[in-house]
Chains A and B, each alone.
Chain A
Amino acid sequence: MEEKKLCLGIESTAHTFSVAIVSKDKILADEREVYKPPLGEGIHPYEAAQHHFRAARKVLQNALKKSKRKIEDMDVIAYSAGPGLGPCLRVGAVVARSISTYYDKPMTAVNHAMGHIELANFFSKAKDPVIVLVSGGHTLVSTYLHKKWRIFGETLDITLGQLFDQLGREMGYNSPAGKYIETLAGQGTKYLDMPYTVKGNDVSYSGLLTFAKNLLKKDNKREDVCFSVQETAFAMLTEVTERLLAFSEKREIVLTGGVAANKRLQEMIKSLSLVHNSSFSVIPRKYSGDCGAQIALVGLLQYESGNVVEVDKSFIKQSWRIDEVHVTWRN
């Protein structure tokens, strides 16, 4: 029997430094260390990068130990090349280049968002889905057509993750604040009227954020504000998701990214999938946030379809849209 190909993937776009080892059908290890900013503050790129440098060695060792493999066993080294914070991206790229040079392994550069998409597809087994990608870096609906994941609709300003983080910060929580917002929202009862901004297939959350911050200053209950923000923000997202379903006439929905862990969002998208006779799946909680597995998995797909990068041509791109990636592993 032919030995399965192995990919070691490194994630370091933002808060998380993670190393994973995967084969085509299995995640052998996925180890992480997450940078935590001080209470009430957001991510500081240089401090996060410092954290990643300090964590790198231990995370790598843990991943190898967990997978019971050695670096020599790897077929390819993948790293998240963007989009993300420059200082953080550089850490992952440096670690990948070092391993690649020292052990003479090919390297492949992965788009981080592609990782969220393909990892979710790996778990869901969906063939031709509509993707709803919601995280700190992305809020978009996408579907595959002619060698690219096409962006059908997206946020015109901040992402759902940023909306929650910034609202959380206003109340003194640190990022990522999604889980605090979700808990508070679960205790809210009163729906406060909020600005609802859908422009065609795109959404805009910045007006909603300002509005919600002002409501907090005016003695409204936190629980009610969080509840209303969540309801309104998710309603906007479900609307554009429905638009893509109707337009593409596809019948599978896959929810992925850090905010996919939100139960209320899952419930809403599941409910709309029933209306449209579509299947619904959500990425497992453990893999919804940033992780090495998303990078390793795409890295393996890229490697097997001949998409590798020379060490001296390896790059990072702080801005890198998903629809700029030429997909080599799908028809």
Chain B
Amino acid sequence: MEKLIKVGAEANIYLDNWDGIKVVRKTRRPKPYWKKELDDKIRRTRTIREAQFLTSVKELGVLTPIVYFVDPFLGEIIMEYVDGVRVKDLLNMDSKTGFIMLYEAGKGLAKMHKHNIIHGDPTTSNFIMRDRKLYFIDFGLAFYSTRLEDKAVDLHLLKQVIKSAHPEVFSKGFKMVIEGYQQIFGIVKPVLDNIKEIERRGRYATLD
């Protein structure tokens, strides 16, 4: 019944049937090349964290899959299957809709940041469009922080991903993210300045 649909960076994603519902089962694989103490700790904490944030951000108006069941010791979450298109693929197929979704991604991140939640891994493969609505997935690196720096890092990561994976739509794409972000967050200059600061700290960055 279960079907492996994606071997992710740290987890295997299965399509499964859970009590008659079509679900996604996300299992964080033990890493044979890591020390067991480190591996167990990280898999357990990320599983718990992910389940908590998937649920808590819903209150802020951020769409996420519904969590049905969590097993921190197995590193497993059973959740709703969001049958849609990854923004990563969407940008290659239909950039116009892709831009709208990046705008939505900016809005979603701002909703979280306003409440001091940092996604931690905002890549275009972690945004899924279903029925022209944007869903956020993969909260394994999410955390609470009031620091502007952490919010800027979140945006910086997304910027880096668009730049490296979607270079042909980079400037418009990131602009859409910022416009969406601004609509919710209001004044964005401090956070944009902080992104520049992060880039300046980067290795061999050109100073300007």
| Contact surface of A with B, Cβ cutoff 8 Å | 82-83, 137-138, 140, 145-146, 148, 150-157, 159, 191, 193, 196, 198-202, 231-232, 235, 238-239, 242-243, 245-248, 267-269, 271-272, 275-276, 318-321, 323-324
A199, B152: Cα distance in complex, Å? 12
Cβ-neighbour of A268 out of B9, B33, B120 (below 8 A): B33
Cβ-neighbour of A200 out of B123, B202, B205 (below 8 A): B123
Q: Which 5 A-B pairs have the closest CB atoms?
A: A150-B164, A200-B157, A271-B33, A268-B33, A242-B9
**List of B residues within 8 angstroms of A268 by Cβ:** 33-34
**List of B residues within 8 angstroms of A239 by Cβ:** 9-10
A to B CB contacts below 8 Å, 28 in the list: A151-B164, A199-B120, A199-B157, A200-B120, A200-B121, A200-B122, A200-B154, A200-B157, A201-B123, A201-B160, A231-B34, A231-B38, A232-B38, A235-B38, A239-B10, A243-B9, A245-B9, A246-B7, A247-B125, A248-B165, A268-B33, A268-B34, A271-B33, A272-B31, A272-B33, A320-B204, A321-B203, A324-B206
B51 to chain A, nearest CB (A): 19
B122: nearest residue on chain A (CB-CB)? Answer: A200
Is residue B37 within 8 Å, beta carbon to beta carbon, of the partner chain? yes
A184 to chain B, nearest CB (A): 16
**List of B residues within 8 angstroms of A137 by Cβ:** 203
Kindly identify, within residues 32 to 62 of chain B, every residue whose CB is under 8 Å from any CB belonging to chain A: 32-35, 37-38, 42
B88 to chain A, nearest CB (A): 8
Check A319/B204 contact, CB under 8 A, given A200-B123, A201-B160. Answer: yes
Asked if B29 contacts A200 (CB within 8 A), the reply is no
A-contact 0/1 string along B143-164, CB 8 Å cutoff: 0000000000110010011011
Check A321/B204 contact, CB under 8 A, given A150-B167, A245-B9. Answer: yes
B206 to chain A, nearest CB (A): 6
Asked if B167 contacts A145 (CB within 8 A), the reply is yes
B153 to chain A, nearest CB (A): 6
Is residue B141 within 8 Å, beta carbon to beta carbon, of the partner chain? yes
A267, B204: Cα distance in complex, Å? 29
Asked if B121 contacts A246 (CB within 8 A), the reply is no
Q: A156-B201, A200-B123, A235-B35 are in contact. List 10 more A-B contacts (CB 8 A).
A: A82-B204, A145-B164, A152-B164, A200-B122, A201-B160, A202-B157, A231-B38, A247-B165, A271-B32, A324-B206
| Contact surface of B with A, Cβ cutoff 8 Å | 6-10, 29, 31-35, 37-38, 42, 88, 120-123, 125, 141, 153-154, 157, 160-161, 163-165, 167-168, 198, 201-207
**List of B residues within 8 angstroms of A323 by Cβ:** 164
Asked if B164 contacts A246 (CB within 8 A), the reply is no
A201, B153: Cα distance in complex, Å? 11
**List of A residues within 8 angstroms of B9 by Cβ:** 239, 242-243, 245-247
A321, B203: Cα distance in complex, Å? 8
Asked if A146 contacts B168 (CB within 8 A), the reply is yes
Asked if B120 contacts A247 (CB within 8 A), the reply is no
**List of A residues within 8 angstroms of B168 by Cβ:** 146
**List of A residues within 8 angstroms of B120 by Cβ:** 199-200
Check A191/B37 contact, CB under 8 A, given A200-B153, A242-B9, A321-B205. Answer: yes
A248, B6: Cα distance in complex, Å? 13
Check A238/B122 contact, CB under 8 A, given A83-B204, A200-B141. Answer: no
Asked if B33 contacts A267 (CB within 8 A), the reply is yes
**List of A residues within 8 angstroms of B203 by Cβ:** 83, 137-138, 140, 154-155, 159, 321
Asked if A238 contacts B153 (CB within 8 A), the reply is no
B140 to chain A, nearest CB (A): 10
Residue from B121, B165, B206 whose CB has the most chain A CB atoms within 10 Å? B165
**List of B residues within 8 angstroms of A247 by Cβ:** 9, 88, 123, 125, 161, 165
Residue from B122, B157, B160 whose CB has the most chain A CB atoms within 10 Å? B160
**List of A residues within 8 angstroms of B165 by Cβ:** 145, 150, 152, 247-248
Asked if B38 contacts A191 (CB within 8 A), the reply is yes
A202, B153: Cα distance in complex, Å? 10
Asked if B141 contacts A198 (CB within 8 A), the reply is yes
B109 to chain A, nearest CB (A): 12
B118 to chain A, nearest CB (A): 9
Asked if A157 contacts B201 (CB within 8 A), the reply is yes
Cβ-neighbour of B35 out of A138, A148, A154, A191 (below 8 A): A191
Asked if A196 contacts B164 (CB within 8 A), the reply is no
A235, B120: Cα distance in complex, Å? 18
Asked if B123 contacts A196 (CB within 8 A), the reply is no
B81 to chain A, nearest CB (A): 19
Asked if A319 contacts B32 (CB within 8 A), the reply is no
A268, B35: Cα distance in complex, Å? 11
